């Protein structure tokens, strides 16, 4: 859920749907019940990992997030929440919408900011009953953390040849996704919840894109 600059005249929600087109909600512990009762499914949510670059439209800038967030997915190539229905500006799960959506008032952000500070859902809390999967997730987080990548890209910018270390991380990220799917039968649409967004997509935050050459070799290309 993104914060919109408060209006001066507005005092109630006009059901325009603007907030739902500018971002999806982050889930709090209070939203666990939505997962338990099936309003939300693992295929509907994904993880923004600590250190990832996200857009903050309060200050109209990209910021590095310093905590893990589990969010409702957005529609492809858009910041629009997957539950938003464009035809009539409505919400497919309105009666059971997440905590942030209930708190959001675009004319007064106080309530939202107070809710935002409350405890959020993390992958660790979601996977408590599946220690084997949690172990895979934590190992991936350790090997493919954004703090490691930040350091490597700083070294690349300063002229050091550590590109192969970046490729090793990219390769690990791809391999573990394939392994979870092939060997453990994890549905592909759960993958961005378990492991965050694929690194070959998010690497764009460092000003590069990844191209895969014949034989599966990677190349980093400046953008």
Task: Rule CB under 6 A: say whether 25 interacts with ligand SF4.
Answer: yes
Q: What is the DSSP string of 100-153?
A: HHHH--TT--HHHHHHHTS-B--HHHHTTT-HHHHHHHHHHHHHT-HHHHHHHH
d(CA 148, CA 166): 9
Q: How many chain residues interact with ligand SF4 (CB under 6 A)?
A: 23
Under the binding rule (CB under 6 A), the answer on residue 211 touching ligand SF4 is: no
Kindly tell me the sign of the dihedral angle through the C-alpha atoms of 50, 35, 43, 56.
Answer: negative
Under rule CB under 6 A, residue 160 binds ligand SF4: no
Residue 82 CB, nearest approach to ligand SF4 (Å): 7
Distance from first CA to last CA of the chain, Å, rounded? 29
Does residue 83 touch ligand SF4 according to CB under 6 A? yes
Q: Contact letters (x/-) for ligand SF4, 96-135, by CB under 6 A? A: -xx--x--xxx-----------------------------
Q: Which of 5, 6, 14, 184 binds ligand SF4 (CB under 6 A)?
A: 14
79 or 209: CB nearest ligand SF4: 79
**Residue 25, CA atoms < 13 Å, CB-side half-sphere:** 27
For binding to ligand SF4 (CB under 6 A), which residues are involved? Answer: 4, 13-20, 24-25, 72, 81, 83-84, 91, 93, 97-98, 101, 104-106
């Amino acid at each position: 859920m993104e914060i919109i600059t408060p209006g001066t005249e507005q005092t109630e929600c006009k059901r325009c749907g603007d907030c739902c087109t500018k971002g999806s909600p982050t889930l709090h512990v209070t939203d666990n019940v939505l997962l338990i009762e099936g309003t939300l499914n693992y295929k509907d949510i994904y993880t923004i990992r600590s250190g990832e670059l996200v857009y903050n439209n309060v200050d109209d800038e990209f910021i590095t997030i310093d905590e893990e967030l589990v969010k409702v997915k957005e529609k492809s190539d858009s910041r629009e929440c997957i539950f938003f229905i464009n035809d009539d500006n409505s919400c497919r799960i309105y009666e059971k919408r997440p905590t942030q959506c209930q708190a959001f008032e675009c004319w007064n952000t106080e309530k939202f900011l107070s809710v935002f500070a409350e405890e959020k859902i993390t992958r660790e809390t979601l996977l408590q009953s599946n220690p084997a999967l949690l172990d895979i997730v934590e190992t991936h987080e350790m090997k493919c953390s954004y703090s490691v990548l930040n350091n490597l890209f700083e070294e690349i910018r300063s002229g050091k040849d550590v590109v192969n270390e970046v490729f090793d991380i990219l390769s690990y990220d791809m391999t573990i996704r394939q392994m979870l799917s092939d060997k453990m039968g994890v549905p592909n649409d759960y993958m961005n919840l378990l492991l965050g967004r694929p690194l070959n997509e998010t690497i764009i935050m460092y000003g590069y894109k990844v191209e895969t050459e014949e034989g599966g070799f990677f190349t980093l290309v400046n953008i």
